[in-house]
Amino acid sequence: MLKALAPLLAGALVDRPGIGHFKIVRSIKEVPEERAVVVGRAGSRVPRGWELVTVSAARGFFGPRELHRILEGIVASLKGDPDKAIVIACPEYLALHNGFNALIKFLNDVRDYAILMGGRVYLVTDELAWDPREFALLKRLED
């Protein structure tokens, strides 16, 4: 069993100078990655080489209330390529549909998987979108 967990634990111990496992940014342009998976709204623009996972109430997309499915997609992406960053570009939309408590639990799970697999997560948001208590909880997720 320990042999099976060794690669995951080794990835968790890798230290990337200057970049933690979870970071809050104000714009997608602040994400210093060449490759990433972006969890965002329909119509979101992403840099060339990045993948968009669309969250929408429309058919054929991840529904905004399906945090478990979104998490499964993120975990699959991290397992397939732990060097590809995860960018969550619609946290306000997810909070609107699920409530802040469900969002913070989801973000904690995403952060935990990033730590275990040596990945990075960026949360694109503005402090003014949250009440001070909520934003303080979001900031606590940063390394």
The per-residue pLDDT for range 58-71, each reduced to its tens digit, is 998 999 999 999 99
How many CB atoms within 10 Å of residue 135? 16
Domain count, the chain: 1
Q: What angle do CA 61, 66, 68 make, to 5 degrees?
A: 120
Q: Is residue 8 part of a domain?
A: no
Q: List the one residue out of 36, 99, 30, 110 whose CA is nearest residue 70.
A: 110
The reply to whether 99 falls in a domain is: yes
Coil, helix or strand at residue 4: helix
For 10-67, write each residue's pLDDT tens digit.
444 444 444 689 999 999 999 999 999 999 999 899 999 899 999 999 998 999 999 9
Structural domain of 77: 19-139
Q: How many residues does the chain have?
A: 143
Separation between Cα atoms, residue 15 and residue 32, nearest integer Å: 17
